[in-house]
A and B are shown apart, each in its own frame.
Chain A
Amino acid sequence: MIKHITILGGFDKNGNQEKISELKVCSGEVLAVVGPTGSGKTQLISDIEQYAEEETLTGRKILINGQPVDKPGKKSLSRLVAQVSQNMNFVIDLSIKDFLLMHARVRGISNPEQILPELLYVTNLLSGEPVTLTTNLAQLSGGQSRALMVADVAIISNAPVVLIDEIENAGIDRLQALKILTGQGKIVLVVSHDPTLMLMSKQRVVMKNGGMDKICQTTELEKRVLKDLIGLEEQVASLRERLRQGENLGAEDGIKADVEEKERRILWQEYRYTSL
C-alpha cells in the first residue's frame, strides 16, 4: 500500500540546491506541476517514474511511505506507476476489445470480460466521439486514444501513482479524466499549463530552471475562481455543442446575465487585485 511519496530536492540546472527540499504527496491527492516550457516539469515526473536515488540529472531522491526504494525491489515496483502523456499513441493492430482483454490478462484480472462495459463507458464519457469495442486501435483519433488510455490506466493498470503530462490539448474532458483518476485514493501528479487543472489540485509546485522553486497551496479565493472557470467552460461547451447542431446563438448567449453575474465581477476584480 502506498500512503505517500516524498520528493527530496536535488539541484537545479545551475547546480544550485533546489529551494524546495522536501515535497510530500499523499494518496487521494493531486499535485499540479507548473512552470514555463523547459523548466523541468517532465524531468520531475521522470524522476518519480524511475524512483530516482540521487543518480539522475537532478540528484533528487524519491521515498515511498518515507522509505527509499531498495534496488532489488524495483522490478516489482514497476507496476506502481502509470503514465499518460500527450506523445503516447497506440501502435498495436488490434480491436479495442481484444487489446483490453490482453492487457487485463497480463495484469492478472480474473474476469476481464466483465470490466469491458465500464472501460467503454469511461472512454466514451471522456472523448465525446464514441468508440465501440470492435473499433481498431489504429483507427482511433487522438482524443479517443487518450480517453481509452485514461480509462485503461484507471481500471486495468490501476496503479497507485499516476503521472499525467500535458493532456489538456488531447481533446478529452480533462476535468472528468482527473476526477476519474484521483478516485480510489491514487496519488496523481499532473503537469499542466491549464489554470483549471492547476486549481483542481490542493497544491502546485512551481518549477524554475530545473528546480522546484515554490509550493503554492490552492487558496479559498482560488477555489472560488476555479468554480467560476468550470462554469465558464460549461458555458463554452454548451455553446460549441449548439453551434455544432446547427443553431444560431441569441443575444442572451453572450455573457450570461444571471444573478451571480455581479458577484462574479467582484470576485474577478478581487482576484486581479490580490494577484497583482
Chain B
Amino acid sequence: MRFVVVAGTPSSGKTSVMVHTIRHLLKNNLQVAVCKIDCLQTSDDERYLSLGIPVAVGLSDYICPDHFYVSNLEEIEAWAREQKADVLILETAGLCHRCAPAVFDCLSICVIDNLIGVDTPQKIGPMLSSSDIVVITKGDIVSQAEREVFRYKVEMVNPEASILDFNGLTGQGALALKNEILASEPLAGITGKVLRSPMPAAICSYCAGETIIGQSYQMGFIKKVDFGRVKSD
C-alpha cells in the first residue's frame, strides 16, 4: 500500500487536488482510501465520499491536530489495509505551521497556493522543506510573473522536491501527480518509521485546559519572549 500524506496551508486546495488525483487513480482500477484529520469539524469527507471510496475522519478537538495525527498513524494504516486500499491518502488539518507531518518512507505532498504571498514559502518551515512533492495551486488567478517568482521561492526552500502546477478547479496537473504517486515506493508498515522533522512540545498548563492568564497559572514547558533581542530592518 502506498501511504500518502497531504499537508498544506489552510484552503490551499488540498481536497480539490486530491479529489481530481483520486479520480485518475480510480481509473487505473486502484483501491483508494482517504482519512481526513481536522480539529473541530470538516466537510471534506463528503467531497471524498462522492467518489464512492471509503473515508474516515479524525477530529483532534483540543489537541494539536498534527500531534493527534502522529499518534493515530498505526490505527489509520490498519483501517486502510482493512479497506484493501492500494493507496491511502491522509489529508492533514493544515493548521499548525510548525508541525511537519512528513514521515520517512511515506510520500509527502505539500499543497500551497499562489495567493499566500511570495515571502510565505520561507516562513512555512519543515512542512514545505521536508516534502517530496510541492503542489502549487491557483495559478489561474495570478499573473505569470507572480507564478514564476513564487515557484522560484519554493525551489529555494525545497530544491529536492518535484514541483507541480495544479489547477484545483479544472484538475490540470492531476495526471502528473497520479504518476508521482504511482512512482513512489509502497510502504510495508508504518510502525517504526520516523518523522522527518520532530514536532514541537505542546505540554503547558494551557494544553491541559487552563484558561486564566498569569505566571502563577503556568506550568510545564514555558518559553518567554526575549525582549533583549530587538529586531530592526
A interface residues, Cβ below 8 angstroms from B: 46, 49-50, 55-56, 75, 78-79, 82-85, 87-93, 99-100, 102-103, 106-107, 145, 148-149, 152-153, 156-157
Give the number of residues in B that approach A within 8 Å (Cβ atoms): 24
Chain B residues with CB under 8 A of A145: 143
Flag if B145 contacts A156 (CB, 8 Å): yes
Interface residue? B172 (CB, 8 A): yes
B141 in the interface (beta carbon within 8 A)? yes
Write the nearest CB–CB distance from A30 to chain B, whole angstroms: 18
Going nearest first, the 4 A-B pairs with the smallest beta carbon separation are: A106-B152, A55-B175, A152-B145, A103-B145
Give the tally of cross-chain contacts (CB within 8 A). Answer: 70
CA distance A88 to B115 in the complex (A): 12
Query: Do B143 and A88 have beta carbons less than 8 Å apart?
Result: yes
Does B118 belong to the interface (CB within 8 Å)? Answer: yes
Of residues 64 to 123 in B, which have CB atoms within 8 Å of A's CB atoms? 114-115, 117-118
Known A-B contacts A85-B140, A92-B117; A99 and B170 likewise in contact (beta carbons under 8 Å):
no
Q: In the bound complex, do residue B148 and residue A106 qualify as a contact, i.e. CB atoms below 8 Å apart?
A: yes
- B residues whose Cβ falls under 8 Å from a Cβ of A: 114-115, 117-118, 140-146, 148-149, 151-152, 162-163, 165, 167, 170, 172-173, 175-176
Q: Which residues of A contact B148 (CB under 8 A)?
A: 79, 103, 106-107, 157
CA distance A82 to B165 in the complex (A): 13
CB contacts (< 8 Å) of A156 on chain B: these are: 145
Question: In the complex, which residues of chain B have a beta carbon less than 8 angstroms from the beta carbon of A84?
Answer: 143-144
Pairs across A and B, CB under 8 Å, 8 listed: A46-B170, A78-B151, A84-B144, A89-B142, A89-B143, A93-B117, A102-B118, A149-B145
Closest-CB distance, B230 to chain A (whole angstroms):
25
Once the chains bind, are B142 and A106 in contact (CB under 8 Å)? no
**Are A56 and B140 closer than 8 Å at their CB atoms?**
no
Question: How far in angstroms is the closest Cβ of chain A from B32?
Answer: 19
> Contacts A46-B170, A91-B115: A106 and B144 contacting too (C-beta < 8 A)?
no
Q: Please measure, in the bound complex, the distance between the C-alpha atom of A243 and the C-alpha atom of B162, giving whole angstroms.
A: 55
> In the complex, what distance in Å separates the CA atom of A149 from the CA atom of B173?
24
Inter-chain contacts of B149 with A (CB < 8 A):
92, 99, 102-103, 106
- Contact yes or no, B146 A92, CB < 8 A: yes
Distance in angstroms from A9 CB to nearest chain B CB is 19
Contacts A55-B175, A88-B140, A88-B141 aside, 16 further interface pairs with beta carbons under 8 A come to A56-B172, A56-B175, A84-B144, A88-B142, A89-B143, A91-B115, A91-B142, A92-B117, A92-B146, A93-B117, A103-B148, A106-B148, A106-B152, A145-B143, A152-B144, A152-B145
Contact yes or no, A90 B175, CB < 8 A:
no
Nearest-neighbor residue (CB-CB) of B171 within chain A: A57
Q: How far is the CA of A152 from the CA of B142 in the complex (A)?
A: 13
Residue of A nearest to B151 (CB): A78
Report if A87-B144 is in contact (Cβ < 8 Å); known contacts: A56-B175, A92-B118, A106-B149: no
Task: Establish whether residues A50 and B142, one from each chain, have CB atoms under 8 Å apart when the complex forms.
Answer: no
Q: In the complex, how many angstroms separate the beta carbon of B28 from the nearest chain A beta carbon?
A: 12
Cα A103 to Cα B140 with chains together (Å): 18
Determine if A88 and B117 form an interchain contact, defined as CB atoms under 8 angstroms apart.
no
